[in-house]
């Protein structure tokens, strides 16, 4: 059994980790930290876990995280980098769901997150936790920077085309929408029900922190310089993410048929348990991935022209966060990648 600690178990990604790990056949929940909820049974805060999770929250100073095999950080940015060195020194593997270990470019991290990176000594060994692109590195890693939710959709949507050299890497566009849970479990005016319900808005249009993260990873797939215009939107639903991606075919690829372009995606993801390449021209819906670790995508080519449109959907809390983190854990401990993650999406 894998002894597991969760730092920050009261937020949405934390409880999603608990939901997944509660039925994981190789997971032993050992410690779940929360200063405010110290001593409170987890099932008291989250009745959905009654009969599944029988431990209580403990303050960080009481939790023996060094006795764990792996510790997940479902915390605000900056927490993992402060605690990771001690855990790593004690042989504990670390999976951070925040941004502390997502980017290798320290200057970019500090610019976009407004804080000093205090754990740069461990950045070179941090592996970006997107299994479909970094599986072999994840297997041998002891420190994972779990991807952002939007970047997961953008990378898996653009990757097959960039790897094949079929599109103009400098002219990528991503028009993305997320449910309100993507903002976290907190009291802010902009995400109150009466503020976000029956409304729709863009945010971060002049620049968003997920842009440099995505560019850094996409740049690994091509020798061409990557340029990305990314616009996120908030939609009035609890969970779910829909990304509409636009790319321009290179002149050398214009003669390719739609069937050939579809085959690029099908071949890229034919062995992936959690990427579903739908038939050409399909319209994936967010509800088709709700509460699952599945990402679905579909390719379009309006007018059989130069522009490709890739539609990508996922659950922002599962494949976009906690499910992907467990996917990484499975790889790190030599388990089948899908262990504990074969949840069928809920519908309606």
Q: Is the pLDDT of residue 189 over 80?
A: no
> What's the pLDDT tens digit per position in 11-58?
999 999 999 999 999 999 999 999 889 999 999 999 999 999 999 999
Q: Which is more confidently placed, 295 or 182?
A: 295
> What's the pLDDT tens digit per position in 204-259?
999 999 999 999 999 999 999 999 999 999 999 999 999 999 999 999 999 999 99
Residue in the structure block whose two tokens are 């992907």: 324
> Can you tell me the distance from the alpha carbon of 95 to that of 84, in angstroms, rounded to the nearest whole number?
9
Percent of the chain with pLDDT over 70: 100
> Can you tell me the distance from the alpha carbon of 277 to that of 40, in angstroms, rounded to the nearest whole number?
43
Domains annotated on the chain, with CATH: 2-125 (3.40.50.720), 150-316 (3.30.360.10)
Question: 32: which strand partners?
Answer: 6
pLDDT at residue number 41: 96
Residue of 119, 149, 176, 328 marked active site: 149
Catalytic residue status for 68: no
* Mean of pLDDT over the chain: 96
Burial of 271 (0-12, 13-18, 19+ CB in 10 A): exposed
> Can you tell me the distance from the alpha carbon of 74 to that of 66, in angstroms, rounded to the nearest whole number?
17
* Cα angle 331-73-327, degrees, rounded to a multiple of 5: 20
pLDDT at residue number 198: 87
Residue in the structure block whose two tokens are 């949405």: 12
Q: Is the pLDDT of residue 184 over 80?
A: no
Coil vs helix vs strand at 162:
helix
The contacts of residue 329 (CB under 8 Å, 6+ apart) are 2, 4, 70, 72, 95, 335
């Amino acid at each position: 059994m894998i002894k597991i600690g969760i730092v920050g178990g009261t937020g949405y990604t934390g409880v999603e980790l608990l939901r997944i790990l509660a039925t994981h056949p190789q997971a032993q929940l050992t410690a779940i930290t929360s200063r405010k909820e110290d001593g409170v049974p987890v099932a008291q805060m989250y009745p959905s876990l009654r009969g599944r999770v029988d431990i209580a929250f403990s303050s960080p100073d009481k939790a023996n995280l060094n006795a764990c095999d792996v510790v997940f950080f479902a915390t605000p940015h900056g927490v993992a980098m402060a605690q990771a060195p001690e855990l790593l020194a004690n042989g504990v593997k670390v999976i951070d769901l925040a941004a502390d270990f997502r980017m290798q470019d320290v200057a970019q991290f500090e610019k976009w997150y407004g804080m000093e990176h205090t754990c740069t000594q461990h950045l070179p060994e941090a592996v970006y936790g997107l299994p479909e692109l970094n599986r072999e590195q994840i297997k041998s890693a002891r420190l994972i920077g779990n991807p952002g939710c939007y970047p997961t959709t953008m990378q898996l949507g653009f990757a097959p085309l960039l790897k094949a050299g079929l599109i103009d890497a400098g002219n990528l566009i991503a028009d993305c929408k997320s449910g309100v849970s993507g903002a976290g479990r907190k009291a802010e005016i902009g995400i109150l029900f009466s503020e976000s319900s029956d409304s729709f808005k863009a945010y971060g249009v002049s620049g968003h922190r997920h842009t440099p993260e995505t560019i850094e990873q996409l740049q690994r797939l091509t020798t061409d310089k990557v340029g990305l215009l990314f616009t996120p939107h908030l939609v009035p639903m609890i969970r779910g993410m829909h990304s509409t991606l636009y790319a321009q075919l290179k002149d050398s690829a214009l003669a390719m048929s739609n069937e050939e372009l579809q085959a690029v995606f099908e071949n890229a993801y034919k062995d992936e348990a959690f990427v579903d390449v739908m038939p050409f021209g399909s319209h994936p819906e967010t509800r088709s991935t709700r509460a699952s670790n599945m990402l679905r995508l579909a390719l379009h080519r309006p007018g059989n022209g130069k522009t490709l449109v890739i539609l990508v959907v996922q659950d922002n809390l599962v494949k976009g966060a906690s499910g992907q983190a467990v996917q990484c854990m499975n790889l790190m401990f030599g388990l089948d990648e899908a262990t504990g993650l074969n949840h069928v999406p809920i519908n309606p």
